[in-house]
Amino acid sequence: MWGQILWCIIGLVAGLIIGFFLARFIMKKYLKKNPPINEKMIEVMMTQMGRKPSKKQVTQVMNQMNKFM
């Protein structure tokens, strides 16, 4: 009886550890393939909307994006 409970607990802990490292690996791979928004992307987006952004405007938008996330 106690042996079965112990093996269940060991299996649960091992599963959590393996799941954590697997999820971490997948997220790193995803972020490398699809990086988060950077200043260059914001500048291109504003240019496509028909305006030439200044460095100050790009920085303000980046700060707001970081605050929101």
Q: What is the pLDDT of residues 49-64, one digit of tens each?
A: 988 889 999 999 888 8
Kindly state whether residues 25 and 42 are assigned to the same domain.
no
Amino acid at 54: S
pTM as predicted: 0.57
Kindly state whether residues 25 and 47 are assigned to the same domain.
no
Q: 3-class SS at 52? A: coil
Counting residues of the chain whose pLDDT is more than 90, the rounded percentage is: 51
Domain count, the chain: 2
Domain that holds residue 16: 1-35
Kindly state whether residues 1 and 30 are assigned to the same domain.
yes
Kindly state whether residues 30 and 44 are assigned to the same domain.
no
CA 20, CA 15: separation in Å to the nearest integer? 8
